A and B are shown apart, each in its own frame.
Chain A
Amino acid sequence: ARTHEGLVARIDTLLLGKKQIDADTLEELEEILITADIGVQTTVELIRTLEAKLGRNELQDGAALKKALQEEIGARLQRYSAPLDVTVAKPFVIMVIGVNGVGKTTTIGKLANRYVAEGKKVLLAAGDTFRAAAAEQLEEWGKRAGVDVIRHQAGADPSAVVFDGCKAAVARGCEVLIVDTAGRLHTKVNLMEEMKKIRRVMGREISGAPHETLLVLDAATGQNAMSQARLFKEAAEVSGVVLTKLDGTAKGGIVVAVSNEFQLPVRFIGIGEQAEDLRPFEPSQFVAALFD
C-alpha cells in the first residue's frame, strides 16, 4: 500500500467542506508544508504571504489557495533559476561537492555524457582518493561517456590529482573539466579545509576556476540540507545545486528552502542511475510534481 499522501490530497482534505479559508486552515497548511520537507523558515514566509492575500480577500476557495501556493513556491525557485552556461571559459571547470553518498560521482558521469553529446571535449579528474574504489567508479563513468579520467593512487593528495587534471585539460584543449571530490560531512572542519585547498590549486592553474561549484543534494534529505547548503556555501562559494534521486518517492521539497535562503539556482535534477538520467531543472515542472 502506498502510504504517501500528496500535498494536494492533503490540502484538499484540509479544505473539504470549507467555504472560507480561515486562520486555522493556514496553521494546518503550515504543518503540511513543513512536512513536505520545505523547511520551517520558507514555510513561515509562504504562510505570511498567503495570510496577506487572505486579508485582501484574494483567496476565496481551496482552488485559489492551491494556485496561490504553487505560484509562491514557483516564484521562489524561479527567482534564482538559471541554466549552467559552460561556454564562458575554456576550459570551464566544474567542481562537484556534497556530503557522502548523495550522487556526486554519478552526476559527473551524467554531465560528461551530456557535454560529449553536445560535441564538447571533456576531461574528468578523480579528486576522491579516499573512498574505496572511488576512482574506479569514475573511470567506469569515463569509459561510458568516452572521456579520459585523470587519477592517482588511492590515498594520494586530492589537490595533486586536481593539479594534474588542470594541466591536462589545458594541454589537451578541453572545453570542460569536471572534478570529483570525496563525500564529506559539512561539519568536518579538516575535510572542508582540504576542499578549500583543492579550490586554491585550481584557481592557480586556471584563471577563475572553478567556474562552477555544484552542491549535490539528495532528494530524500530533510532539514539537514539547510545546514549542508549553509556550510558548503561558506567554505566553497557554491554556485549551483543538483538535486538527485528524484525518481524515487522523495520530492526534494527542501530545495525550495535551499534555493530561496541561499540564493542558489538548481541547475539539474537526477532521475535515475543511467548516464542519460539528468535533466535541466524546470521550476514549474518541479512545483507541479511537488503537488502531485
Chain B
Amino acid sequence: MFENLSDKLELVFKKLRGQGVMTEDNIKDALREVRLVLLEADVNFKVVKEFVEKVRVRAVGTQVLQSLSPGQQVVKIVHDELVSLMGGDEDNSLDLAAKPPVAIMMVGLQGAGKTTSCGKLARHLKSQRRNPLLVPADVYRPAAIEQLQTLGRQLGIETYASKSDQDPVVICRDAVKYAELNGFDTVILDTAGRHQIDDFLMSELVRIRDEIDPREILFVADAMTGQEAVNVASGFNERLAISGVVLTKLDGDAKGGAALSIKAVCGKPVKFVGLGEKLDALEVFHADRLVSRILGMGDVLTLVEKA
C-alpha cells in the first residue's frame, strides 16, 4: 500500500508532529522502515546495519524543521547518506590515460552482461573518436566468440579473430600486439563468465591481467543480484583489484541495491549502467538516480530539495 519510503515514514511520524527534536525513541520505528526498504532492495544485511546506524547517529538530536515534516527530514538524511555511500559525485569516468593500446578487461559472473557491455563500450568509445578493437577471450561458452563478432559487425568495429581452442591468455597477448601494429588505441577484452570461487578460472583472469596490465578492470554486475553481490564482488576484487563496476539490466524493475553493497565492500565506483539489450543502451552512472530508485521515489525528493 505504501510504495515508497517517504509514504511509510509519513505514517510513522504522524505521532511525532509537534515534537521538537528527533530522539532515539521517536525515530526507532522510522529506522526500522528504512532498514526494511533497503533489505527489500537487496542491499546486503551488513551494509544495511552499518548504514542504519549512521543515519541514527545523524538524526538523533536533529531539530525538527518547520518547513519539512519529520518524515521528509529522515528521508533527506537517508538519501544524502546513501548518495555519499555511493560515492556522491566522485569522478567515475573511464580512465584511459595510458600508452595505447589501452586495455579494458570485462569480468564477472555467468550471464551478467559482459559481452553485451563490451559492445556498448566499444560503441561509446568510437563515438568519442577512439579506435577500439574487440577481443573475444571466452573460449568456453558455446558461440561466445561469434556473439562478440556479431556485435562488432553490427557496430562496424573490428573483432580480433580468436579461436576457441586457444588459450585466453595467449589470445589477449596476441590481440594487444595486433592492436599495436594496426593502429587501435583501445582493446576491450571479453572474458568468460565464472564464479569467484572457481580457482582455475579466477587464476586465468589473474594471468591475463599480469600479461596485459589493463588500465581498467570492470566488474559487470547484474542489477537483479541479491545478497550474494557482496561475496561475488569482493571475491573478484580480492583476486584482481577491479577498477570499477558496470551495473546491467537496470531497464527492468530491479531496485539495484546490489550496487550499494558492492560499493560499500569494494569501494570501487560504478562507472556505467546498462539499460537495455541494444548497443546504445549504456549510460554514465549517477549515484542520486540509483538512490532515488532504491528508495522508490523521484518526485518526493525534488520536493524535499525545494523545501
Q: Are B252 and A31 in contact (CB under 8 A)?
A: no
Q: Are B252 and A133 in contact (CB under 8 A)?
A: no
| A-side interface mostly | loop
8 Å CB interface, B245-288 against A: 249, 251-255, 257-258, 277
Residues of B close to A220: CB separation below 8 A: 109, 222, 225-226, 228-229, 232
A103-140 interface mask toward B, CB cutoff 8 Å, 1 = contact, 0 = none?
Answer: 10000010000000000000000000011111011011
Q: Are B195 and A221 in contact (CB under 8 A)?
A: no
| Total CB contacts across the A-B interface at under 8 A | 142
Question: Which of B151, B230, B253 has the most chain A CB atoms closer than 10 A to its own CB?
Answer: B253
Within the assembled complex, what's the spacing in Å between the Cα atoms of A40 and B255?
15
Q: Is B150 an interface residue (CB 8 A)?
A: yes
Residues of A close to B141: CB separation below 8 A: 137, 273
In the complex, identify which listed stretch (A18-26, A58-66, A202-210, A248-256) lies at the interface while the others stay far away.
A248-256
Q: Are B224 and A222 in contact (CB under 8 A)?
A: yes
Partner of A185, one of B39, B113, B197, B252: B252
Question: Which of A36, A139, A188, A250 has the most chain B CB atoms closer than 10 A to its own CB?
Answer: A250
Q: Are A249 and B42 in contact (CB under 8 A)?
A: no
Q: Are A101 and B228 in contact (CB under 8 A)?
A: no
Q: Are B231 and A4 in contact (CB under 8 A)?
A: yes
Residues of B close to A103: CB separation below 8 A: 110-111
Q: Is A73 an interface residue (CB 8 A)?
A: no
Q: Are A248 and B111 in contact (CB under 8 A)?
A: no
8 Å CB interface, B104-136 against A: 109-113, 115, 119
Residues of B close to A221: CB separation below 8 A: 222, 224-226
Q: Are B253 and A187 in contact (CB under 8 A)?
A: yes
Question: With A101-B111, A136-B143, A220-B222 in contact, is A249–B252 under 8 Å at CB?
Answer: no
Partner of B196, one of A34, A109, A245, A249: A249
Q: Are B227 and A36 in contact (CB under 8 A)?
A: yes
Q: Are A140 and B228 in contact (CB under 8 A)?
A: no
Q: Are A140 and B142 in contact (CB under 8 A)?
A: yes
Question: With A31-B45, A99-B249, A227-B253 in contact, is A222–B226 under 8 Å at CB?
Answer: yes
Q: Are B277 and A248 in contact (CB under 8 A)?
A: no
Question: With A100-B249, A185-B251, A223-B255 in contact, is A137–B143 under 8 Å at CB?
Answer: yes
Within the assembled complex, what's the spacing in Å between the Cα atoms of A218 and B147?
21
Within the assembled complex, what's the spacing in Å between the Cα atoms of A188 and B39?
25
Interface size class of A (residues with CB under 8 A): 35 or more
Q: Are A224 and B109 in contact (CB under 8 A)?
A: no
A203-237 interface mask toward B, CB cutoff 8 Å, 1 = contact, 0 = none?
Answer: 00000000000000010111111010000000000
Q: Are A132 and B151 in contact (CB under 8 A)?
A: yes
Within the assembled complex, what's the spacing in Å between the Cα atoms of A35 and B109?
20
Within the assembled complex, what's the spacing in Å between the Cα atoms of A110 and B300?
48
Question: Which of B149, B222, B257 has the most chain A CB atoms closer than 10 A to its own CB?
Answer: B222
Q: Are A248 and B197 in contact (CB under 8 A)?
A: yes
When C-beta atoms are compared, the residue in chain A nearest to B150 turns out to be A132
Q: Are B142 and A141 in contact (CB under 8 A)?
A: yes
Partner of A101, one of B140, B150, B222, B238: B222
Within the assembled complex, what's the spacing in Å between the Cα atoms of A35 and B49?
12
Q: Is A261 an interface residue (CB 8 A)?
A: no
Partner of B110, one of A137, A141, A224, A245: A245
Residues of B close to A102: CB separation below 8 A: 111
When C-beta atoms are compared, the residue in chain A nearest to B223 turns out to be A224
B152 CB → nearest A CB, Å: 9
Partner of B231, one of A100, A132, A249, A253: A249
Given A37-B227, A133-B144, A248-B196, list of 10 further CB < 8 A pairs? A35-B227, A36-B227, A40-B36, A132-B146, A137-B142, A137-B143, A183-B277, A221-B224, A245-B109, A248-B232
9 tightest A-B contacts by CB? A222-B226, A101-B111, A140-B142, A132-B150, A35-B45, A222-B42, A185-B252, A137-B143, A133-B146
**Which residues of A are interface residues toward B (Cβ below 8 A)?**
1-4, 31, 34-37, 40, 99-103, 109, 130-134, 136-137, 139-141, 154, 183, 185-188, 218, 220-225, 227, 245, 247-250, 253-254, 273
Q: Could you write out 6 A-B pairs with CB less than 8 Å apart?
A: A101-B113, A101-B222, A132-B150, A133-B146, A136-B146, A224-B252
